[in-house]
Amino acid sequence: MIYRIAELADWEAAQQTGFFASADLSAEGFIHASELYQVLGTANRYYAGRQDLVLLELDEAELWVAAVPVQREYAEARDDYFPHILAPVPLAAVARALPFAAGPDQQFALPPELED
């Protein structure tokens, strides 16, 4: 599984179109995503305090079946490889959409469903 922190408006639009896409796909040519261990670092770095988010759990095997390419690319600023999704995500590849909001301290915690 790979994960996308998504704005609620983009997720709601996906319910109408059948595909999830975000502004980064048109601006950069890919949808930013994370491995599970990268989610909190990404959320706290780029989304601190946000309440209007969902965490999409994406089944990479379903993306492959739908011919949606995923490439892991190195991000020097984070010294790690991150998955980049190179096309809109069909809803069939979204395993779960979990509520994802910052806590009172403006920081994020993983949804209970994803904690070990």
> What's the CATH code of the domain at 42?
3.20.170.20
Does 112 map to a domain? Answer: no
Does 30 map to a domain? Answer: yes
Does 110 map to a domain? Answer: no
Residue 115 has pLDDT above 90, yes or no: no
pLDDT bin (cut points 50, 70, 90) of residue 25 is very high
Show contacts of 95-100: CB within 8 Å, 24+ apart. Answer: 95/1, 95/57, 95/58, 95/59, 95/62, 96/56, 96/57, 97/6, 97/11, 97/54, 97/55, 97/56, 97/57, 98/54, 98/55, 98/56, 98/57, 99/54, 99/55, 100/5, 100/43, 100/53, 100/54, 100/55
- Residue 19 confidence (pLDDT): 97
Number of domains into which the chain is organized: 1
Q: State pLDDT tens for residues 49-99.
A: 999 999 999 999 999 999 999 999 999 999 999 999 999 999 999 999 999
